Amino acid sequence: MKLVIVESPAKAKTIQKYLGPEYVVKASVGHVRDLPKSNKKAIDIEKGFLPHYEIVRGKEKVLQELRALVRKADEVILATDPDREGEAIAWHLAETLKLPKEKTKRVVFHEVTQAAVTEALRHPRSIDENLRRAQEARRVLDRLVGYDLSGLIWKKVRYGLSAGRVQSPALRILMERERAIRAFVPETYWTITARTETPQKEPLTLTSEEEPRSADEVDRILRAARAGTWRVQEVKEATQTRAPRPPFTTSTLQQAASTRLGFSPARTMALAQKLYEAGHITYMRTDSPTLSAQARAAAAAAIEKEFGKEYLSPRQFKTKSKVAQEAHEAIRPTNLAKRTAGTTPEQKRLYALIWARTIASQMAAAEIARTKITAGPEGAATPPFAAHGSRVRFPGWLAADPAARGEDQEVPAVREGDTLTLLSVESEEKQTQPPKRYTEAGLVKELEKRGIGRPSTYAQIMKTLVDRGYVTKEGKTLIPTDTGDVVSTFLEKNFGKYVSDTFTAEMENELDEIAQGARAYTPTLETFYRTFSKEVREKETLDKLTTLGDAPPEYPCPRCGAAMVIKLGRGGKFMSCARFPACMGARTIEGKEIEPDKPIGTDPETGLPVFVLDGRYGPYVQLGEKNEKNKKPKRASIPKDVAPDSVTLEDALRYLSLPRTLGVHPDTGHEVIASVGRFGPYVVHDGDFRSLKEDDVYTITLARALEILSEEKKTRRGRRSASR
């Protein structure tokens, strides 16, 4: 029996169909080992940055099944993905399963088809130590940078924040654009449009090629335009060729899927993964746009059959990067004769995009006729007015990808000297616009251009920035948050070298060199970490960032009237009294009302006002005002899924009812209390804390609490309840 191990069950199922009964194909379900969360246990720096790996939680059962199969197998074939990550998974499997070298083989293929798998099995090799060391170097490097920088940010900015070797440069790029937007000063300008009619009574709209900056100049142009006789001054027509674009790489697929289909990079990669595992497309992590000879021949056959021989123009594209270190072919369909594939509408749409781009890349250039008509009032001192149009003379590759054509605007046929009838001429006041924020597709393109990250990392970069709360998404647009602003500013000011384009791109190149065997693992990390750790230690002397600056003087403290400062809390920026903690006055900013705090009602039991406030750790409710008699008013956090402006008096009093004393324990006489803590709702008795999974902390009874407390602490009550 020959055991083949791949990553995913879907891929295993597909490959099992291709192989005979002597093969058993099983999945590791991704990585089986990883670095532990604690950095103290993860990496032994003194022993040459030696990583300490642990079995990934939940993988014990998978490994147990694989060990049993290994004992029965005559041969073990590691067929994980053809990139660094796949090589690392193969190595971890070999190490964890203690596979003997004499019966272990490594095979790679870039498409899950019977021909590709069968061919790969004919050419096994050993595990590529350079590739897997490059993956290990990336993993260790990211952990060292993230752990050390994050630890410093916790101390100097706010607990819970993080930084990363690649995510932080990406955030810096977003913040550079955001600062340009903030600094932008709009200018007023006018567009002037003339509606005319040709001698053949066809409408022709022309626009002034100059955009005046003053109302007086606009009035002058309008008067002159209305006074003269309009004639066609020039007609220019030129044929332009539009060449097809290369087949998809990982980054260009993510960009096109975002702009054309509205998919996020993470969604695109998940869909592509499914198409790959089902055998419909080649491997989806690649920075090479090349096509194999077989693929080009298949494309040529499909083009001749579908469009005709005149549409065929075979070509090969070369990668722009110095090292295409992942799969060495572009993303393409495995069978170009199939125009549709996939099991869901989203998969089918992505496949259609990949098919069209692949086929189009081997087709003739499109021929576009572009026309420019220039006209104006005869003898008047006005800027020239122009109309632009285009039409397709020969569609070429656009026949396969018509969505890439755009909108063609035809202009009527006129000749120089023709008289035009002026119907109207109007002006529209506008303002120059600031630079646009990055979309996900735009940021992927920018990261690739600057050499930051690699194809397999782009989707994770986007996800991390959003998950950390550094960026929010409005449609496709990425908008840095207050937290992202503060973190990026801190890193740029104190660790500018490590979040720069140059450093990040050079580090990626060094990882590529490790993959090629041109650079050693330990010296590379030693050279980097010696300087980096020293700079981190030096920054330990920085003062803690307590304020972001002074608040505007027109917003004094609503409690004592003193000046306010701007701080960063879990809910974003907020204003706090400069006399804190003597005075706890605070106001919210960033789009929220900046007014003195007003109570939402009065507690009927105490007669004290109830406030909804925003502080360092987010929104909360407060009973009474802070003063000399009431130095520590009772407070309660507002649940994360509740909008502060929707909180009613009834809601606030319910939040303030915690902690609730449910009664006394019959065995000990000690109180049983229900409350909400750092890890969610709980009941506690005599130091014995039990999380509430299904019960409501506001309504739970003493009897139910005693039932929960009587269960064994390690018992997973959710499962027992389900079985009951």
Q: Which residue has the tokens 């250039």?
A: 365
Active site includes 283?
yes
Q: Which of 63, 263, 252, 45 is nearest to 147 (CA)?
A: 45
DSSP line for 429-467: EEE--PPPPPBHHHHHHHHHHHT-S-GGGHHHHHHHHHH
Distinct helix (H) and strand (E) counts, the chain: 20, 28
Beta carbons of 253 and 331 less than 8 angstroms apart:
yes
Between strands 104-106 and 75-78, the pairing is parallel
Contacts of 61 (CB under 8 A, 6+ apart): none
**Residue 474 to residue 456: CA distance in whole angstroms:** 24
CA 21, chain centre distance (Å): 43
**Residue 544 to residue 631: CA distance in whole angstroms:** 26
Contacts of 487 (CB under 8 A, 6+ apart): 153, 157, 161, 163, 168, 171, 470
Give how far Cα 23 sits from Cα of 4, 17, 489, Å.
Answer: 7, 10, 56
Give how far Cα 12 sits from Cα of 6, 16, 83, Å.
Answer: 6, 6, 18
Helix (H, G, I), strand (E, B) or coil at 591: coil
Give how far Cα 116 sits from Cα of 15, 18, 121, 125, 374, Å.
Answer: 10, 10, 9, 15, 58
* Other residues' Cβ atoms within 10 Å of the Cβ of residue 559: 17
Exposed, middle or buried, 77 (CB in 10 Å: 0-12/13-18/19+)?
Answer: buried
Q: Work out whether the CA dihedral 72, 75, 80, 84 comes out positive or negative.
A: positive
Helix (H, G, I), strand (E, B) or coil at 231: strand
DSSP line for 384-439: -EEEEEEEEEE-GGGGT-GGGS----------TT-EEEEEEEEEEEEE--PPPPPB
Give how far Cα 345 sits from Cα of 260, 337, 352, 498, Å.
Answer: 15, 20, 11, 42
Exposed, middle or buried, 410 (CB in 10 Å: 0-12/13-18/19+)?
Answer: exposed
Strands in 75-78's sheet, in edge-to-edge order, are 23-27, 2-6, 75-78, 104-106
**Residue 339 to residue 294: CA distance in whole angstroms:** 18
Helix (H, G, I), strand (E, B) or coil at 360: helix
Helix (H, G, I), strand (E, B) or coil at 318: coil
Catalytic: which of 23, 283, 438, 498? 283
* Other residues' Cβ atoms within 10 Å of the Cβ of residue 684: 18
**Residue 511 to residue 452: CA distance in whole angstroms:** 12
Q: How far apart are the first and last CA of the chain?
A: 44
Beta carbons of 341 and 275 less than 8 angstroms apart:
yes
Helix (H, G, I), strand (E, B) or coil at 683: strand
Q: Which of 303, 322, 305 is nearest to 396 (CA)?
A: 303
Beta carbons of 525 and 137 less than 8 angstroms apart:
yes
Give how far Cα 609 sits from Cα of 40, 604, 664, 695, Å.
Answer: 49, 9, 31, 30
What DSSP designation does 47 have?
A: T
Q: Which of 264, 286, 219, 222 is nearest to 81 (CA)?
A: 286
Peptide bond into 659 cis (omega under 30): yes
The catalytic site residues sit at: 283
